[in-house]
């Protein structure tokens, strides 16, 4: 098999349109049935949901957890969430795997914990690849995608999309079964 990898000169939302083109091409050329997308404010999730509306693909949009930025708040407005769902996608808000209790303990007591080591290790490939792995496990944990499936994951660095990967899904309990099969796009810097 031969696939093209797109490397963006720098991370950021200016790569979102190209990432969407890469997703459409992957869906056209291969029979992927599940897509998981990270979306903080909802703009990336809304764009992909609207583009894939009626495609029959199981699209799961993952938000930040409640209270990520401020207590008792979610960064994605309800109106955007409703638009995404009206396009046929599902929106999931849950515990972010690499922002768990260990983050709180590390902040209070210092030290390094296994989850933080995993997050920092995955970041060697970039923020987007780390988030792609994380959101696939979150969607699997929630039962929104099945385990052991080849899934397209889309994430970004800050805002927008700049990373597209094909990942064999696993729940977080079986993290070591999660496999990055392909990197279709990512920033170099």
Burial 82-114 (b: 16+ CB within 10 A, else e): ebbeebbbbbbbeebbbbbebeeeeeeeeeeee
At 66 the pLDDT is 73
Q: What is the CB-side half-sphere exposure of residue 77 using CA atoms within 13 A? A: 5
CA distance 52 to 56: 8
Phi-psi category of 111—alpha, beta or left, where left has phi over 0 and alpha has psi -120 to 50? left
Residue 54 region by backbone torsions, left for phi larger than 0, else alpha for psi between -120 and 50, else beta: left
Cα separation of 16 and 163, whole Å?
Answer: 9
Confidence of residue 178 (pLDDT cuts 50, 70, 90): very high
Going by pLDDT thresholds of 50, 70 and 90, the confidence category of residue 57 is very high
pLDDT at 97: 83
Q: Which residue has the tokens 């997703």?
A: 23
Residue 84 has pLDDT above 80, yes or no: yes
What's this model's pTM, rounded to 2 decimal places? 0.92
H helices present in 30-173, as ranges: 43-52, 78-86, 101-109, 114-122, 127-141
Mean pLDDT over all residues of the chain? 93
Instruction: Write down all domains in the chain, each with its CATH number in brackets.
Output: 6-187 (3.40.1380.20)
The residues that bridge with 163 in the sheet, in sequence order, are 155
Q: pLDDT digit string (tens) for 98-141?
A: 877 788 788 888 887 888 888 888 988 999 999 999 999 999 99
Asked if the model's pLDDT at residue 64 lies above 90, the reply is no
Per-residue pLDDT at 47: 97
Q: Is it the case that residue 75 has pLDDT exceeding 80?
A: yes
Confidence of residue 73 (pLDDT cuts 50, 70, 90): confident
Residue range 12-37, pLDDT digits in tens: 999 999 999 999 999 999 989 999 99
């Amino acid at each position: 098999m031969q696939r093209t990898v797109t490397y963006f000169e720098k991370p950021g939302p200016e790569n979102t349109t190209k990432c969407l083109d890469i997703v459409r091409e992957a869906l056209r050329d291969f029979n992927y049935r599940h897509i998981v997308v990270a979306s903080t404010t909802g703009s990336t999730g809304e764009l992909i949901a609207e583009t894939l509306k009626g495609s029959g693909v199981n699209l799961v949009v993952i938000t930040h957890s409640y209270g990520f930025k401020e207590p008792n708040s979610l960064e994605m407005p309800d109106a955007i969430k409703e638009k995404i769902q009206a396009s046929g996608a599902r929106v999931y808000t849950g515990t972010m795997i690499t922002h768990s209790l260990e983050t709180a303990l590390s902040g209070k007591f210092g030290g390094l914990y296994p989850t933080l080591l995993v997050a920092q290790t995955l970041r060697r490939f970039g923020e987007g690849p780390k988030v792609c792995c994380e959101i696939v496990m979150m969607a699997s944990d929630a039962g929104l995608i099945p385990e052991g499936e080849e899934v397209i994951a889309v994430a970004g660095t800050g805002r927008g999309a700049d990373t597209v990967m094909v990942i064999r899904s696993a729940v977080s309990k079986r993290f070591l079964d999660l496999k990055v099969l392909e990197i279709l796009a990512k920033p170099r810097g």
